[in-house]
Amino acid sequence: MAILNRADAAPENASSPVAAAVTPLLIGPPPLDADKFRRQGRQVVDFIADYYACIDDYPVRPDVAPGFLTGKLPETAPYTVEPDALTAALRDVRELILPGITHWQSPRHFAHFSATASNVGALGEALAAGLNINPFTWEASPAATELEVVVTDWLGKALHLPEKLLFAGGGGGTLLGTSCEAMLCTIVAARDRKLAEIGEERMGDLVVYCSDQTHFSFEKAARIAGICRGNYREIPTCRESGFALTAKALQAAVSADEAAGRVPLFLCATVGTTPTSAVDPLRELCAAVEGRDVWVHVDAAYAGAACVCPEFRHNIAGAEAVDSFSTNPHKWLLANMDCCALWVRQPTALVAALGTDGDVILKDAVVRSSQTGVVDYKDWQVALSRRFRALKLWLVLRCHGIDGLRAVVRSHVCMATAFECMVRADARFEVPVPRQFALVCFRLRATAALPGEDKLPCGAVDDVTANNELNRRLLEAVNATGRVYMSSAVVGGMYVLRCAVGNSLTEERHVREAWNVVQKQAAVVLAIKNKTDNQVPKN
Amino acid sequence: MAILNRADAAPENASSPVAAAVTPLLIGPPPLDADKFRRQGRQVVDFIADYYACIDDYPVRPDVAPGFLTGKLPETAPYTVEPDALTAALRDVRELILPGITHWQSPRHFAHFSATASNVGALGEALAAGLNINPFTWEASPAATELEVVVTDWLGKALHLPEKLLFAGGGGGTLLGTSCEAMLCTIVAARDRKLAEIGEERMGDLVVYCSDQTHFSFEKAARIAGICRGNYREIPTCRESGFALTAKALQAAVSADEAAGRVPLFLCATVGTTPTSAVDPLRELCAAVEGRDVWVHVDAAYAGAACVCPEFRHNIAGAEAVDSFSTNPHKWLLANMDCCALWVRQPTALVAALGTDGDVILKDAVVRSSQTGVVDYKDWQVALSRRFRALKLWLVLRCHGIDGLRAVVRSHVCMATAFECMVRADARFEVPVPRQFALVCFRLRATAALPGEDKLPCGAVDDVTANNELNRRLLEAVNATGRVYMSSAVVGGMYVLRCAVGNSLTEERHVREAWNVVQKQAAVVLAIKNKTDNQVPKN
């Protein structure tokens, strides 16, 4: 094909059939090129490797002000580019962008939940991006669909999920982007199944249930699905039950709705809540709604991964009775962002709600699929288009094996346990809820600010508020060092710091350093508080 | 950190604080490692480069039967893995998986719409996967959020979108995965804005509009958002108006709903429909619903990209009056899967519907964001978690420039125009709807089967059905060669073949070859048809 420079182009003729047919075809530098890819790919691989090698040098959370980057970039994209634009672009990434990102892969990132990365997780994404296929139907890429069927069964078996959630047992799994998507798809499946039975006009009567510890994604998913705002039941939990949802409270809420003529639709139970990694008791909760046709979904976004180890499997006891289960291999199973595995007991319910058959484009392929019984994953998710995520997850399982994943989970739990022990050994601190998995919630005691002096009556409002504020300041001080990044939660009125161990580069020394930073900053904020308190006349 | 083999682990003690604190920490081979990444990264880069170099050797669509891969893979994931597992895994990809994928990047893939790939698009995904950050709030990665603000404005300006859709003009853009997500988010924003005004109990009265050419994703998005199935208006189009939605038909539908007490909510107009790339007239459609508070969304998933070239911008004339606009840079702008850019005129409407403020985990960060006015992109989308897609799109714009993107679009349009000319030059064929952008819809004429003989009365039902079947057979025959992959659509009762030019590796010779394959297979199916027809006694 003839290659012309831009100056040779005749844009005004480009859409004229006659002119185009006789004009040599126009093309710039070829955007896809095997040899150039080999060279450019190495540049990018080296860039990433260099980043991993020096990631510990960056403050975990950057100390930047809003607008810091916007002001450094031009107002429009370039029209023409320099010959070796990638080299220049990578320099921009190093000089402008890296100093402004929060380094989620830093060994000293203990905030939120981890996004446990791996070499093959990143390279699996790269490989999928290189092949760049769009396997929305079996026919649009047979191997991609079949690999997804195989790998979701592999993962389900590795987690010891009930067989009825796997293809091998009449259910089946798919790979989505996030837990919220999994919640949305299953709510819609449950909603449409129910409305088909009771009539679309009763949409406003449908009620969904969760606890006050459930991730806010569930409320969002329910709202997106059109569940009335007033029909979202966030059932209170308490410290005594470890912030888990109790069957008794659920049953009371469901009964009250039924008595009022409303229709209980959906329960989202969590295994490993975001604030404290609490575990809702699946067996008891399923029993509480048994016979009521309530769809029970399990959000095990973070902690589901732990079930690769036999010693954690009791956390999903009773899952035989649930309708769907999801966990995020991008959180704790080395499958870089993004990857959420969703299994459902009745794929037909999902397909009935999300399937499309009136399409004039894919009709032939869809007819063939229904004849041969293959899966068309477009009918299991919100969108039509999808990435080849199965390749990444398969690479991770293929290259690390179940033993490798167990080692990762156990090493993180061990490090979190070590951190918990260090906290407990310091009398100024408390661990108000037991460590679960690799998450430690901790805080300065109310009495810490007044060592050896009189203390306020325990539980007084002023005391609680002041102590929450003290811990908020502690977290701010810890994060401001740039040496550690932790997060917080408010549970049962208590502000707690969260230390979530889960990064692939984190070693025991990082956990010890993190604790040293916390202790040092605690001394500082306590000293400031004591000084301020002493300036206030005592009653 | 001490590294132990699996045999040394004591799993039953792993969750016991005391044991763990004294037990050396357990870890397998480190999953993330800079030096190993450098070596493994090169393997994967070479694998992809080799794939591009020999992609032309594969049949575009594989000739495989359902279950072909499932049967070749073990029933469970491995427990332990070989020392160089990646090499073995890549061999599996080459030997087991590549022969079973549909090669979307093949220069002879003309089906669906393209997924125009580039070196930097794939490497941008790789880089984002390597950094593996999760920029859900500004604070969770400031540079990622700011780059998304910058790059969506860059792209919006490159497409000459109305300023009010850009941050620079009070609106703003975000990067999602797919068009269906963009539709869902905007329907929910429109729905909640309307229900806040008229009351949640009127949910069942909301009506959404599109044409019978609109992508089925819109119906799906509306259903997910809880719009009643009966309130989805698919307004008929016809060949005479080029399968575009007319203002008159829209106005009639809206008025009828209003007269019946229903509430017009949302119009999805399409620039570049999937079947024929028809363009709905934005100015006229906006005028038709003016003053009725109908949210007008433009789905320009495929053809929006063409607006990088001045000569195609008339297709979005009137976009000043729309509420939102989306296009997929993963379709035609070199940004490998997945990347959908959505711009909205009123980000506050999106945030009101999709924002969350009751969260106990991100509260501090969200409070700070609202004080400083930065964007928290979690409130612009379905999910909380998100990838660093802005990095990829920025790399593409930075390394190709607007001129580079124009060259890509123009070269594809030129090649499609050349294909159209070849079809028109063969009297057996017709191009029943004019080529738009780089999509040619064509088919064998009803008369083609009977050269020089009597023909059935034009327009007779039998004739239409028989000719559709003839063209369906032609497409099957073409695709069965493995040398070309095209798709089909049914528009105005006509079955047409779709030839969408848009792959980065496609050159003029591939388009000519594709036409040769079509001509050859047409001769075959016509010969079979004539033979069959001659065996049937004539009436």
Q: Is the pLDDT of residue A293 over 60?
A: yes
Q: Is the pLDDT of residue A470 over 90?
A: yes
Q: Is the pLDDT of residue A2 over 80?
A: no
Q: What is the CATH number of domain A160-352?
A: 3.40.640.10
Residues A426 and A144 sit within 8 Å (Cβ to Cβ): no
Residues A256 and A233 sit within 8 Å (Cβ to Cβ): no
Cβ neighbours for B453, distance < 8 A, ≥ 6 positions apart? none
Interface of A with B in 263-302 (CB under 8 A): 274-275
Rounded to whole angstroms, how far apart are CA atoms B457 and B46?
59
Q: How confident is the model at residue B370 (pLDDT cuts 50, 70, 90)?
A: confident
Which residues on A lie below 8 Å from B406 (Cβ)? 6, 11
B276 φ/ψ angles, rounded to the nearest 5 degrees: -135, 5
Rounded to whole angstroms, how far apart are CA atoms A117 and B133?
10
Higher pLDDT, A363 or B324: B324
Nearest to A382 among B131, B181, B226 (CB): B181
Place of tokens 């714009």: B397
Total Cβ atoms within 10 A of residue B58: 17
In the beta sheet, which residues pair with residue B295? B266
**What average pLDDT does range A108-128 have in this prediction?**
96
Rounded to whole angstroms, how far apart are CA atoms A118 and A344?
28
Residue A221's closest CA among B228, B180, B176, B383?
B383
Q: Is the pLDDT of residue B123 over 70?
A: yes
> Which CATH class, in words, describes the domain spanning B161-345?
alpha beta
Interchain contact, A49 vs B69, CB within 8 Å? no
Task: Check residue B535 and give its pLDDT.
Answer: 77
Task: Check residue A453 and give its pLDDT.
Answer: 45
Which residues on B lie below 8 Å from A393 (Cβ)? none
Interchain contact, B27 vs A411, CB within 8 Å? yes
**What average pLDDT does range B83-107 have in this prediction?**
97
Q: Is the pLDDT of residue A139 over 50?
A: yes
Task: Check residue B139 and give its pLDDT.
Answer: 92
Interface of A with B in 420-459 (CB under 8 A): 420-421, 435
**What average pLDDT does range B151-169 have in this prediction?**
97
The DSSP symbol for A319 reads G
Task: Check residue A372 and give its pLDDT.
Answer: 84
Q: Is the pLDDT of residue B233 over 90?
A: yes
Q: Is the pLDDT of residue A357 over 90?
A: no
Return the amino acid letter for B209: Y
Nearest to B337 among A129, A220, A374 (CB): A129
Annotate A505-521 with b (16+ C-beta within 10 A) or e (fewer). bbbbebbeebbebbeeb
CATH architecture of A400-535: Alpha-Beta Complex (3.90)
Which residues on B lie below 8 Å from A61 (Cβ)? 139
Residue A363, chain B, CB below 8 Å: the answer is yes
Q: Kindly report, residue by residue over B475-495, the tens digit of the pLDDT.
A: 999 999 999 999 999 999 999
Residues B467 and B446 sit within 8 Å (Cβ to Cβ): yes
Average per-residue pLDDT for chain B: 91
Q: Is the pLDDT of residue A280 over 80?
A: yes
Interchain contact, A154 vs B76, CB within 8 Å? yes
- Please state which of the ranges A32-41, A211-220, B216-225, B528-537 shows the lowest mean pLDDT: B528-537
A490 φ/ψ angles, rounded to the nearest 5 degrees: -115, 115
Which residues on A lie below 8 Å from B374 (Cβ)? 66
Q: How confident is the model at residue B389 (pLDDT cuts 50, 70, 90)?
A: very high
Rounded to whole angstroms, how far apart are CA atoms B529 and B466?
10
Task: Check residue A373 and give its pLDDT.
Answer: 84
Task: Check residue B529 and give its pLDDT.
Answer: 87
Nearest to B309 among A11, A179, A181 (CB): A11
Residue A199, chain B, CB below 8 Å: the answer is no
Determine which of B51, B97, B342, B370 to mutate to test the interface with A (most A C-beta atoms within 10 Å).
Answer: B97
H runs (alpha helix) in B425-507: 461-480
ipTM for this model: 0.93
Q: Kindly report, residue by residue over B496-523, the tens digit of the pLDDT.
A: 999 999 999 999 999 999 999 999 999 9
Q: Kindly report, residue by residue over B261-272, the tens digit of the pLDDT.
A: 999 999 999 999
Question: Is the CATH number of domain B401-535 3.40.50.720?
Answer: no
Task: Check residue B356 and give its pLDDT.
Answer: 82
Q: Is the pLDDT of residue A366 over 90?
A: no
Residue A215's closest CA among A265, A264, A275?
A275
- Please state which of the ranges A371-385, A452-466, B146-160 shows the lowest mean pLDDT: A452-466
Q: Is the peptide bond before A376 cis (omega within 30 degrees of 0)?
A: no
Rounded to whole angstroms, how far apart are CA atoms B9 and A96?
44
Question: Is the CATH number of domain B32-101 1.20.1340.10?
Answer: yes
Interchain contact, B372 vs A66, CB within 8 Å? yes
Q: How confident is the model at residue A460 (pLDDT cuts 50, 70, 90)?
A: low
Kindly report the pTM of this predicted structure: 0.94
The pairing of strands B263-270 and B206-211 is parallel
Cβ neighbours for A11, distance < 8 A, ≥ 6 positions apart? B309, B310, B311, B406, B410
Report the chain B residue with the minimal C-alpha distance to residue A158.
B77
Residue B488, chain A, CB below 8 Å: the answer is yes
Q: How confident is the model at residue B14 (pLDDT cuts 50, 70, 90)?
A: very low
Q: Is the pLDDT of residue A155 over 70?
A: yes
Nearest to B177 among A37, A383, A418 (CB): A383
Q: Kindly report, residue by residue over A390-427, the tens digit of the pLDDT.
A: 999 999 999 999 999 999 999 999 999 999 999 999 99
Residues A262 and A293 sit within 8 Å (Cβ to Cβ): no
Write the DSSP string, B384-406: S----HHHHHHHHHHHHHHHHHH
Task: Check residue B358 and give its pLDDT.
Answer: 64
Q: Is the pLDDT of residue B3 over 50?
A: no
Residue B83, chain A, CB below 8 Å: the answer is no
**What average pLDDT does range B6-23 have in this prediction?**
40
CB pairs under 8 A between A and B: 649
Task: Check residue B449 and give its pLDDT.
Answer: 62
Residues A189 and A353 sit within 8 Å (Cβ to Cβ): yes
Q: Kindly report, residue by residue over A228-246, the tens digit of the pLDDT.
A: 999 999 999 999 999 999 9
Task: Check residue A530 and give its pLDDT.
Answer: 85
Q: How confident is the model at residue B362 (pLDDT cuts 50, 70, 90)?
A: confident
Residues B369 and B139 sit within 8 Å (Cβ to Cβ): yes
Q: How confident is the model at residue A370 (pLDDT cuts 50, 70, 90)?
A: confident
The dihedral sign for the CA sequence B155, B158, B159, B161: positive
Residue A179's closest CA among A274, A44, A256, A58?
A274
Domain edges within chain A: 160-352, 400-535
Residue B126, chain A, CB below 8 Å: the answer is yes
Report the chain B residue with the minimal C-alpha distance to residue A84.
B399
Task: Check residue A449 and give its pLDDT.
Answer: 61
A348 Cα to chain B: minimum distance (Å): 16
Nearest to B398 among A85, A135, A310 (CB): A85
- Please state which of the ranges A29-33, A100-104, B19-23, B322-326 shows the lowest mean pLDDT: B19-23
Residue B373, chain A, CB below 8 Å: the answer is yes
Q: How confident is the model at residue B450 (pLDDT cuts 50, 70, 90)?
A: low
The vertex-B361 CA angle with B357 and B365, nearest 5°, equals 70
**What average pLDDT does range B29-33 have in this prediction?**
89
The DSSP symbol for A390 reads H
Task: Check residue A362 and give its pLDDT.
Answer: 76
